[in-house]
Amino acid sequence: MHEIVTLQFGQRANYLATHFWNIQESYFTYTPNTEPSIVDHDIHFRPGIGTDGSDTYTPRTVIYDLKGGFGTLRQRNALYDDTSTSDTSQRGPAAGIWRENGLTTIKQQPIAPISYQADLDAGLPTSQLRKEQVRYWSDFNRVFFHPRSIVQLNEYTLHSQLSPFESWGAGEELFKDVDREADLLDRDVRLFAEECDSLQGFQVFAGVDDAWGGWTGSYVDALRDEYGKKCIWVYGLEDTRQVSRDKAVARKANAARSLSEMSKLASAYVRLSTLPDRLPEYARVDVTSEWESTALMAAAVESVTLPMRLRDGSARGSSMAQFEQTLSSDEGRNVWELGLTVDWNEQQNRPAATANGNQRGREVTAEDETEEDGSEKFDIGFTPESSSLVPNTLALADRRQPRKHVFTQLDTSRHPKRTSNGSTPPQPLDREELLRRRYNEEAIVERFTVPLGFPRLDAYPADLFISPDTAAISSGQESSLSAGFTTSFKTKQNVFQLRDLVTRYSRAVPVEEKEDLYNGLTEIGDKYAFGWEEEDSGEDD
């Protein structure tokens, strides 16, 4: 086995991770004499023993959230319920106070579960979930977690107006305080890591444009010190919904600090926008719904990494290290772009992409449909952009002719109608051809094809994708998707836009730190220079 331990930091990240776990749970086969799934569940799930001695199988994850962020989720669930002790881990203040006439117990009013969760708990069939029903990420969760997976941070309260968890420094300080009291890695991570037969690495889902960015940066730093040779992938979620300019710039400042710090520590860093700059006509996303926006991300994240979870005997699957070898190569390009395309009739009659009306987008031309270098042009790109906030006098690289050069790309196409066992791994390039392409800065593209469609669950938005005949894909059906990681020249443009915006216009970054931040982001962007676009001189041609 090549296990992966997951870490989840913050409300938005937990929304994304919950979709991820629900999709993983859908691959389990519960009916006798059913052909087993081609997915190796041991990559992300761990066996255990419940309170009653029964066998359990739970995600290998640690979930952090603020007080009030877990909703109806208890630390002890039906698998680990112990009626002899009460669960006070998520009640906040002390359960009682002393008074002259004795002990008076004070209890917070429990949050009532929605009908979807009530039906799950009762073992009844569930109906299609609607966005109006979802209040917390636990409202659509379909898996049981080990009690040690649930970690509540009581120092801050979710959506607090008095003490908001927003500044990067607040998250950094919180990590130091909590880690000083209890070694976090030793208390929360070591149990999951040391029980693995062959741990390949960690995947981290985190919000990075608020205080969770500071928390995550410190946490990843500790991970790198403790597990120096393991793969560490960070999926950094950035809120790109429209807000005031000052608040948007403050968020970008937090995101910039996260990018600068964690790109030095993580072996891969993937920036994810809650609202892509453009959406195709077939995608319907309510920007006010965390449930819907993170569902779109989850479809891409789960699909592109699917080859890493395939059984060795049937698929010759890949691994985190092999992905890194293909994408980052020897140039250290560890900031990856994520893209997604829904393959209607397997790439036939695909609706054209259009600019997203809620963000500054651009119309898609015929030039966008195909790439001469053989790389895939995805309908949906998740990399956040800063062009709408950067004055025209800045970001020199963006003012020049836009470049679309792709250095490396690894994509996974999943099709439920394919009948071959396992996946079709890409044919690796021989060393001579690989060196020739790198020397000539030609695109290196690898593709996996997996005969397993993307499952449509009743806990997943039903109308997120609308087929060309305007019919929503109903629960129980499978979709054909293509998702991929890419390293391209576009990363330099996005990083330099972010750098110029934050170091010149943000008050959220201390003056004494701006020079280091500027240099750090410049170093990242320069790794993606191509051809004559070598220097950022700050002068026009």
Domain total of the chain: 1
Domain housing 287? 4-526
Q: Would 120 be classed as within a structural domain?
A: yes
Q: Would 533 be classed as within a structural domain?
A: no
Q: Would 538 be classed as within a structural domain?
A: no
- pLDDT exceeds 80 at position 145: yes
pLDDT band with cut points at 50, 70 and 90 for residue 168? very high
Quick one: which of 241, 301, 285, 276 has its CA closest to 464?
Answer: 285
- pLDDT exceeds 60 at position 390: yes
Query: What's the pLDDT at 92?
Result: 38
Q: Would 344 be classed as within a structural domain?
A: yes
Mutual orientation of helices 211-226 and 168-181 as an angle, nearest 10°?
50
Structure confidence by residue, pLDDT tens digits, 345-362? 654 444 444 444 333 233
Average pLDDT, the chain: 82
Angle at 235 between CA 231 and CA 239, to 5 degrees: 165
Q: Would 540 be classed as within a structural domain?
A: no
Greater confidence (332 vs 363) lies with 332
Rounded-to-integer distance, Cα 541 and Cα 539, Å: 7
For strand 478-479 and strand 454-455, is the pairing parallel, antiparallel, or unpaired?
Answer: antiparallel
Query: What's the pLDDT at 508?
Result: 79
CATH number at residue 145: 3.40.50.1440
Q: Would 333 be classed as within a structural domain?
A: yes
**What pTM was estimated for this model as a whole?**
0.87
Q: Enter the DSSP assignment of 106.
A: -
Q: Would 308 be classed as within a structural domain?
A: yes
The Cα-based distances of 182 to 6, 74, 177 in angstroms read: 20, 22, 9
Quick one: which of 415, 426, 448, 449 has its CA closest to 346?
Answer: 415
Structure confidence by residue, pLDDT tens digits, 94-126? 333 344 455 655 566 778 999 999 999 999 999
Q: Would 79 be classed as within a structural domain?
A: yes
